[in-house]
C-alpha cells in the first residue's frame, strides 16, 4: 500500500501501464531518467497491496518491472508448469519440513550404506 509520498509521486510522474490478475497497478515514469551507465530509461514500479512482500509480483510482470522485457507478458503466455504465486511460508505452520526434521518427529529412515557413526571414547 502506497504512502502519501508515493501516491503524490505516482500521480505527477507515473503512467499506469496495467494491472496484474490480483489488481496490483504497475507504473512507468512519463519521462526517462539517466541511469548510472549514462543511458536513459523509464523508471518502473508497482504498488503492492497492504502487507505484501516483493515476491508477490507475478512472472508476467517481473521481467517488465526489471527492464528485461519491453512490455509485460500476456497472462495467456503462462506455461502449464508455472504455479500460482504463494507467499513465503517460512516460519509458519505451512512451512516445509523434510523427513527427519525435528519439527516432524526427528526420526529419519535408517541408512542402508556402510556408514558408521563416530562416537568419542569415554
| C-alpha distance from residue 116 to each of 1, 78, 102 (Å) | 55, 49, 22
Instruction: Return the number of other C-beta atoms located less than 10 Å from residue 27's C-beta.
Output: 21
Q: pLDDT value at position 111? A: 66
Domain residue spans of the chain: 4-77
- The pLDDT, as a whole number, for residue 1 is 56
One digit per residue, the tens of pLDDT, for the chain of length 122 reads: 578 999 999 999 999 999 998 999 999 999 998 877 788 899 999 999 988 888 889 888 999 999 999 998 887 888 888 887 778 888 888 888 887 788 777 777 776 677 778 899 87
pTM of the model: 0.70
Q: Is 45 helix (H, G, I), strand (E, B) or coil?
A: strand
Q: Which residues of 30-49 are buried (b: 16+ CB within 10 A; e: fewer)?
A: eeeeeeeeeeeeebbbbbbe
> What pLDDT is stored for residue 27 in this prediction?
96
Amino acid at each position: 500500500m502506497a504512502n502519501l509520498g508515493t501516491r503524490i509521486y505516482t500521480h505527477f510522474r507515473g503512467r499506469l501501464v496495467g494491472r496484474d490478475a490480483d489488481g496490483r497497478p504497475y507504473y512507468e515514469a512519463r519521462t526517462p531518467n539517466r541511469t548510472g551507465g549514462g543511458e536513459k530509461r523509464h523508471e518502473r514500479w508497482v504498488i503492492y497491496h497492504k502487507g505484501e512482500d516483493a515476491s508477490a509480483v507475478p512472472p508476467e510482470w517481473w521481467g517488465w518491472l526489471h527492464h528485461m522485457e519491453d512490455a509485460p507478458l500476456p497472462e495467456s503466455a503462462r506455461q502449464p508448469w508455472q504455479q500460482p504465486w504463494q507467499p513465503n511460508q517460512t516460519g509458519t505452520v505451512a512451512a516445509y519440513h523434510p523427513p527427519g526434521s525435528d519439527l516432524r518427529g526427528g526420526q529419519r529412515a535408517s541408512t542402508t550404506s556402510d556408514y558408521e557413526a563416530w562416537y568419542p571414547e569415554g
